[in-house]
Amino acid sequence: MAQGADGHRHLPVLATAEPQKARRMTAARWVVVGLAATAVVLYVVALTQPWWRFWLFAPQYPKGLELIISLKGVAGDVREIDTINHYIGMGHLETAATFERRMAAYGVGAIGVLVVGLTLLSGRKLGWLAATIGLLFPAVFVADSMYWLHRFGHDLDPKAPLHIKAFTPQMFGTGIIGQFETYAAPYTGFWLALAAFGLLAIGTFVRSRVCASCGLASNCGVVCPSAFVGPGAGGGAV
């Protein structure tokens, strides 16, 4: 204890914990924004990367044939595989998902805008939506790819030189198509998209903790009643 000028001893005044808590919450808000921004960057990078790889092995192709699928098209041994597919009545690979490929860049841009917008503006009731959109992106890719694999394997030309039973190529792991053994697995772009979703999921968890401690939590619904970050965040209270 220290003696004051008035001759009395005074207890030291303890600093309130509220400013420290406010600083932690402010930092957490920026962490959420940083995670969302990083996720958007990963989605943009994923647009330029291959998403799935297929290998086909047969006695006449001991080294295998490779097919690489990205959001913008197909690559690898496309001509050779198209030649083989012609004999069993399958369409050319370049004719698959033409609309999806044209819209891929716009779709990634829309996802980026939605993720950033929801991160900055959504309230407690929609705090989960950015992560959901992040999960839907790779999920829709897988679902659309499986649709095209099924369509190509079942929409066979009856006038083809060779006739085989309708089939659906394996999207995961190994499979058999005629004399070919196939193997399929996700590749760089898909893993980047999953990593982006993981960041958004972490951001959603951190956001829920921030919003629960916000001074405006009782008035928060679909839209954040104040800026999520910045001087007015939380209405100036925690």
Q: Could you write out the DSSP letters of every residue in 82-124?
A: HHHHHHHTPPPGGGTTHHHHHHHHHHHHHHHHHHHHHHHHB-G
pLDDT of 48 > 90? The answer is: yes
Lowest mean pLDDT of 4-8, 95-99, 202-206, name the range. 4-8
pLDDT of residue 238: 41
88, 158 contact by CB (below 8 A): no
pLDDT of 19 > 90? The answer is: no
pLDDT of 180 > 60? The answer is: yes
The three-state secondary structure class of 222 is coil
R_g over Cα of the chain: 27
pTM of this structure? 0.85
Q: How confident is the model at residue 163 (pLDDT cuts 50, 70, 90)?
A: confident
Q: How confident is the model at residue 184 (pLDDT cuts 50, 70, 90)?
A: very high
Q: Six-digit token pair at 39?
A: 């996720």
Report the run of H or E that residue 63 belongs to, with start and end.
strand 61-70
For the chain, the maximum distance between any two Cα atoms, rounded to a whole number of angstroms, is 109
pLDDT of residue 18: 65
What average pLDDT does the structure give for the chain? 88
pLDDT of residue 237: 46
pLDDT of 15 > 70? The answer is: no
pLDDT of residue 218: 78
- Which architecture does CATH list for 25-228? Up-down Bundle (1.20)
- Average pLDDT (220-233) is 79
Residue spans per domain, the chain: 25-228
pLDDT of residue 213: 83
pLDDT of residue 8: 57
